[in-house]
Amino acid sequence: MDIDARHPIRTLTHMDTVTAALVVQFLVSVAFNLMGSFMPLFISKELNETLIEATGWTGTSSFIASTIMAITAPFWGWMCDRIGTKKVLLAVLAGNIIVYSGMTFSTNVLQIVFFRALQGGFGGMSTVMFTIVASVVPSRDLKKALSYQMVAMTMGGLVSPGIGGVMASIIGYRPTMLASAILFVFIFPVVVKLTLPLPATRDKDAKSFDLLDLKSLIPDIIALILVYVCISFISPAISWFLESFGVPDDQLLLWTAAATILNGIAYAVASPMLSSAVNDQTMPLLSVGAAAAIMATAFVFNPIQFIALRIVIGAIQAGIPPNLLGGKSGRKGTGIGFLNSARFLGMAIGPILATTILGDGVPPKAFYMYAVIAIISIIAAVFIYATHRKESN
């Protein structure tokens, strides 16, 4: 069948389900993160807060959004099992159109916090996309397929803050935020046209998710929380560390972007490779390696060394999440929802924990921060080894 490349919706709907899921995930990630580079500036300049207050409000709203995503992820997974991924995906898209439209026209910071909280409630996108992939790929390929979904998510999150920053400098903050809502509007008819798997409840032989299923997932849920604490901990403090290494103020944004982007690229490149090479026995070694690299960061004394270690850490950590996510969840959306909830919870805890320990940055608080996160990474390694050892034998 010939596909007319001049009609992107028609082209996308002729792709196989896994490829279409990758494209949708990338577009969604772009829409989510367009405002990532300027939210503190938007709050400061448009809503009349000081920059330090705006930074605090940004961190608070992000924590609230991630926490609510963690709470609601199992619900969205359960809904995938009950009514099907397509209906859930459309509901989540519609919710995000409302969220980003609301933020565009917000007149005070509490409205931003409200809409970020609402965004958390409609943050089931990755749960739905993981469930779609899990329902169509063979079990032996699930870990690798999920790693590609994470690549699409990561790459979208890498390119969109830069695009959003350029757009904001040209057309302004509010029109750029509205562009996120418009992109979600564009994705909506694409999903309407896609043929997605029917809900699990349509299969008479399918076993519903129960407490025994949840019990079997608890070790991987705990492991994912610990791992994502270690993945996300440094995000709010990157600029501070670079400044402490002597990076001038006028170059700080560039160096921060470089550290973030290169870490993300390393994660994206390594994830599919490691998802195939890593098994239950070698996963703990990755977490120990990440602990060593995190601790080594406490002893660097220039931005090049700092960024080099961020690249190493991103590459090492990339092999763990796909193997935990694609292990015991099977094809049940509810199970994937609980595992995805652990991701969100780790992403909420990591930055808050790290910045709390760092405090005002007076030595040796930075050393304590790195030491605590390195210890958590080692705990994750021991926990993964203990809970997966029997399965490997």
Residue pair 312/327 in contact (Cβ under 8 Å)? The answer is no
Specify the 3-state DSSP secondary structure of 137.
coil
pLDDT (tens digit per residue) in 323-364 = 888 765 555 688 888 988 999 899 888 888 888 888 878 899
Q: One-letter amino acid identity for 96? A: N
The CA distance from 159 to 178, in Å, is 18
Residue pair 184/97 in contact (Cβ under 8 Å)? The answer is yes
| DSSP per-residue letters across 11-77 | HHHTS-HHHHHHHHHHHHHHHHHGGGGTHHHHHHHHTT--HHHHHHHHHHHHHHHHHHHHHHHHHHH
Structural domains of the chain sorted by starting position, each given as residue range(s) with its CATH number in brackets: 1-198 (1.20.1250.20), 209-393 (1.20.1250.20)
Taking the whole predicted model, whether its pTM rises above 0.95 is answered as: no
Indicate the burial class of 117 (C-beta count within 10 angstroms; 0-12, 13-18, 19 or more): middle
| Residue in the block written with tokens 């901990």 | 233
Q: What mean pLDDT, rounded, does the chain reach?
A: 85
Task: Collect all residues with Cβ–Cβ distance below 8 Å to 166 and sequence separation of at least 6.
Answer: none
pLDDT (tens digit per residue) in 289-317 = 999 999 999 999 999 999 999 999 999 99
pLDDT (tens digit per residue) in 133-192 = 888 888 778 888 888 888 888 888 878 877 887 888 888 889 999 999 999 999 988 888
In the chain, the percentage of residues whose pLDDT exceeds 70 is 90
Helix H or strand E segment including 170: helix 142-171
The CA distance from 87 to 80, in Å, is 8
Report whether pLDDT(17) > 50: yes
Which residue from 222, 237, 207 is spatially nearest to 332, judged by alpha carbons? 207
The CA distance from 81 to 335, in Å, is 10
| Residue in the block written with tokens 């996160």 | 373
Give the mean model confidence (pLDDT) for residues 241-251.
Answer: 85
Instruction: Provide the CA 372 distance to its chain's centre, in angstroms.
Output: 22
Which residue from 322, 134, 347, 340 is spatially nearest to 228, judged by alpha carbons? 347
Give the mean model confidence (pLDDT) for residues 213-235.
Answer: 91
More confident residue, 257 or 202: 257
The pair of three-digit structure tokens given for residue 333, joined into one six-digit string: 């959306």
Ranges 28-32, 66-70, 226-230, most confident = 226-230
Query: Whole-angstrom distance between the N-terminal and C-terminal Cα of the chain?
Result: 48
Specify the 3-state DSSP secondary structure of 108.
coil
Res 124: pLDDT: 81
Res 391: pLDDT: 57
Indicate the burial class of 159 (C-beta count within 10 angstroms; 0-12, 13-18, 19 or more): middle
Res 214: pLDDT: 83
Instruction: Provide the CA 97 distance to its chain's centre, in angstroms.
Output: 19
Give the mean model confidence (pLDDT) for residues 86-104.
Answer: 93
